[in-house]
Structure 1
């Protein structure tokens, strides 16, 4: 009985070791190499020396629609004006909700007045899983040294109601301002909310 129990524990430990560790704030952000809507390849290393925002998105998600009534665009414009690289990431797999082609991506960016630096296509989900991205939106802030400084929700009220944006604590915006000022976000990790990512 003891031997069986030991073998089960050993197998569990071996399995756990084979699973990619979740990203940790204060540690180097996971690397990635993906194409954008123009077919250009981007890697995290390309943005060394710059603050980077990652925004997981799905245009069909009501929570994303809520923030694209103007809030997300304002955040994109304000942060890119400060030299931040803003990367919107689509991890929806082909055939699943939220999956789009490059033409649709460009049309959405234009029609919504969105202002990301680039829209990244993560069809195989490798990038999303490396970041443990779970919802749309799910927000991340990486500093100039490539260190993950914030991950979590865009704000504190997990609803799809536009009117709740003004009442919520803007966790992500506050984290972005802190990183731009060379400070550590507090809180640095919050619970994301939205639609599940369709890997």
Structure 2
């Protein structure tokens, strides 16, 4: 009984950071067409993936209360990637799939305010409270990253980088998979690590 009590907190911590919702078990394959979507954005506009054909698109699943998201925004790592993408005419879309009443759920004005406070510069933020987009992509964690090329093909899915921790001081030592993939695409080369294991908090779907 004592050993069970000792291990329980550790198991609970593992569930927080690495749990995979059953609803998000399906996942698209790389080098195949990315799942189409049309979603409402935080600024009130509607964003359709089809309308972005011809541009590289980055999808970033996010939850502002998640320690792993706070790591990358607190260190301004995520903002640096977003700014790099913007300078290269890459469309960076945050996606919030937290359901109503769940951690990370926000309305449009709040999402925009959070980005202003963090100096974040995504092209837009998609609000996905029903989890439709998240489940189509099999998004499991925050952050969970996807890259779609100009032809609409999914070329990367997985973690933001190679060190699955919530410690900001690990960022300089990690391989940034997103940056690595975008640099390879610029050179017309294959993405070196097209599929990696995402880490972070579980996406808090409504069901």
Common topology (TM > 0.5) = yes
Q: CA deviation at 1:184?
A: 1.7
Alignment of 1:123-142 (within 5 A): 123-142=129-148
Structure whose alpha-carbon radius of gyration is higher: 1
Q: Does 2:101 align with 1:105?
A: no
Which residue matches 2:10? none
Which residue matches 2:36? 31
Which residue matches 2:200? 194
Alignment of 1:7-86 (within 5 A): 22-69=27-74, 70-86=76-92
Q: CA deviation at 1:21?
A: 5.2
Which residue matches 1:114? 120
Partners of 1:183 and 1:176 lie apart in 2 by 10
Q: RCO greater where, 1 or 2, for CA within 8 Å and sep 6 or more? A: 2
Q: CA deviation at 1:20?
A: 8.9
Unaligned runs of 5+ in 1: 1-18
The 8 Å contact of residues 25 and 138 in structure 2, kept in 1 or not, is answered as no
Which residue matches 2:97? 91
Partners of 1:58 and 1:181 lie apart in 2 by 32
Partners of 1:98 and 1:154 lie apart in 2 by 19
Q: CA deviation at 1:103?
A: 1.4
User: Which of 153, 158, 168 is equivalent to 2:159?
Assistant: 153
Unaligned runs of 5+ in 2: 1-23
- Deviating above 4 A after TM superposition, structure 1's stretches of 4 or more consecutive aligned residues are none
- What TM-score do you get using the length of structure 1 for normalisation? 0.88
The 8 Å contact of residues 26 and 137 in structure 2, kept in 1 or not, is answered as no
Which residue matches 1:5? none
